[in-house]
């Protein structure tokens, strides 16, 4: 057996170089990707320590095998209650490291091939949930405009709906990212260091202008800060404030009762409303920062109104379509299958 496969320093060195050389220097991935990969390997190393009875510094390439990875993926779903989507995201990080090992340590090629042979798990993709225009208006008006928190929350929800931003993009907006003028716009910092500019509606522009003045925000300040210290909101903060608004809005709009509404629901809602307004799907993809319009195509699948219009155009009211009836016995048999 090759000594590299049983040397703990070889495994540790490969993992460190994977982050420092491969991810940071060669690929220059975003800080969010580094954090996601880091968290995956924290979980994996802690799990391996419990299973193998070795601290992470004593693990070898032989320990990093398909059996360990399969057991770890099962642990994520059964004990940590991760969704299949989260499980696959963790596995993607492990696969990236396995491919790096195959390039840097050829003796481990067989171990790597067995890991890469593990498939991504398929899962049912639910239809996209979104809000009606009436529900959006009730939610936007739910926060108390007479308080600091209420005014901040109104801006926060207006930004989510106007821009279709991911919650991580919204909380990272600085005052300097906003351009207020005849044609106002907002610069968003998206996934993978990608930036995009989104136009602002007149109503959103007026609210932002009033908010910046009211909260006395400087250009370097977060546009939606916390009350203490002016730090950016967190994802959890945003979800909690939205939950409060939904509870209040439900009293006025019963259709919100029992609905699972998250900050990401605003993103889906923006896309659906743009689609229903006749905006081209490629423009919506650019608006949302999608890599490909293929991702945006899911909104077409979810829009029942568009499907109903298509059905009406195919079979106009009052026109009876005759169904084909085979006359041959063999054709009847095939038709019955």
Q: What is the Cα–Cα distance from 224 to 174, expressed in whole angstroms?
A: 8
User: What local confidence, expressed as pLDDT, does residue 311 receive?
Assistant: 46
pLDDT above 80 for 326? no
pLDDT above 80 for 305? no
Q: Is 196 helix (H, G, I), strand (E, B) or coil?
A: strand
- Residue whose pair of structure tokens reads 């490969």 in the numeric block: 14
- Which one of 22, 154, 267, 268 is the catalytic residue? 267
Q: What is the Cα–Cα distance from 97 to 58, expressed in whole angstroms?
A: 18
Torsion angle, CA of 179/236/92/5, rounded to 10 degrees?
Answer: 120
Residue 94 token pair: 């492990």
Query: Catalytic: 202?
Result: no
Query: Catalytic: 100?
Result: no
Confidence class for position 207, pLDDT limits 50, 70, 90: very high
Degrees to nearest 5, angle at CA 242 with 169 and 202: 60
How far apart, in Å, do the first and last CA atoms of the chain sit? 58
Q: What is the pLDDT of residues 145-204, one digit of tens each?
A: 999 999 999 999 999 999 999 999 999 999 999 999 889 999 998 876 788 999 999 999
Can you list the alpha helix ranges (DSSP code H) found in the chain?
Answer: 8-17, 31-52, 66-78, 84-104, 109-116, 133-141, 148-163, 167-171, 202-215, 235-252, 263-276, 281-288, 293-302, 304-314, 329-336
Query: Catalytic: 299?
Result: yes
Query: Catalytic: 85?
Result: no
Find, among 225, 223, 226, the residue nearest to 212 by Cα: 223
Report whether 174 contacts 221 (CB < 8 A). yes
Q: What is the Cα–Cα distance from 63 to 44, expressed in whole angstroms?
A: 12
Query: Catalytic: 214?
Result: no
Q: Which of 282 and 256 is assigned the larger pLDDT?
A: 256
Report whether 197 contacts 211 (CB < 8 A). no
Find, among 69, 74, 55, the residue nearest to 101 by Cα: 69
Query: What mean pLDDT do residues 95-123 have?
Result: 95
Question: Strand 178-179 relative to strand 195-199: parallel, antiparallel, unpaired?
Answer: unpaired
Query: What mean pLDDT do residues 263-283 have?
Result: 88
User: What local confidence, expressed as pLDDT, does residue 331 receive?
Assistant: 73
Query: Catalytic: 297?
Result: no
| All domains in the chain, ordered by first residue | 3-116 (no CATH), 133-312 (1.10.443.10)
Percent over 70 (pLDDT), the chain: 87
Residue 132 token pair: 């009606």
Q: What is the Cα–Cα distance from 157 to 161, expressed in whole angstroms?
A: 6
Report whether 48 contacts 68 (CB < 8 A). yes
Give every strand in the sheet of 185-189, ordered side by side. 178-179, 185-189, 195-199
**What value does the mean pLDDT of the chain take?**
88
- Which one of 22, 87, 166, 268 is the catalytic residue? 166
Report whether 188 contacts 177 (CB < 8 A). yes
Q: Is the pTM of this model over 0.75?
A: no
Report whether 7 contacts 18 (CB < 8 A). no
Torsion angle, CA of 283/289/295/298, rounded to 10 degrees?
Answer: -70
- Which one of 191, 196, 235, 248 is the catalytic residue? 191
């Amino acid at each position: 057996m090759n000594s590299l496969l049983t040397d703990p320093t070889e495994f540790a060195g490969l993992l460190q170089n994977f982050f420092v050389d491969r991810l940071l220097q060669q690929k220059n991935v975003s800080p969010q990707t580094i954090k996601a990969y880091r968290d995956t390997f924290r979980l994996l190393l802690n799990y391996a320590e419990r299973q193998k009875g070795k601290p992470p510094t004593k693990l070898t390439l032989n320990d990093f095998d398909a059996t360990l990875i399969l057991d770890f993926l099962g642990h994520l779903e059964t004990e940590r209650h991760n969704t299949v989507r989260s499980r696959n995201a963790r596995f993607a990080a492990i696969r990236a490291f396995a491919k790096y090992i195959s390039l840097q340590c050829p003796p481990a090629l067989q171990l790597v091939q067995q890991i890469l042979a593990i498939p991504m798990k398929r899962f049912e993709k639910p239809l996209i949930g979104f809000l009606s225009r009436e529900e959006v208006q009730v939610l936007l008006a739910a926060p108390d405009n007479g308080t600091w928190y209420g005014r901040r929350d109104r801006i926060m929800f207006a930004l989510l709906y106007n821009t279709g931003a991911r919650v991580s993009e919204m909380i990272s907006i600085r005052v300097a990212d906003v351009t207020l003028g005849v044609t106002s716009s907002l610069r968003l910092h998206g996934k993978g260091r990608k930036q995009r500019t989104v136009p602002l509606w007149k109503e959103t522009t007026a609210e932002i202008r009033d908010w910046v003045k009211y909260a006395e925000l400087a250009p370097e300040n977060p546009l939606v800060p916390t009350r203490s210290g002016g730090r950016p909101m967190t994802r959890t903060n945003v979800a909690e404030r939205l939950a409060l608004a939904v509870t209040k809005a439900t009293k006025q709009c019963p259709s919100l009762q029992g609905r699972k509404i998250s900050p990401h629901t605003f993103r889906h809602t923006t896309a659906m409303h743009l689609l229903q307004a006749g905006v081209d799907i490629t423009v919506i993809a650019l608006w949302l920062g999608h890599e490909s319009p293929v991702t945006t195509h899911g909104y077409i699948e979810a829009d029942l109104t568009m499907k109903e219009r298509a059905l009406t155009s195919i079979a106009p009211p009052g026109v009876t379509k005759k169904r084909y009836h085979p006359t041959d016995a063999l054709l009847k048999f095939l038709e019955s299958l």
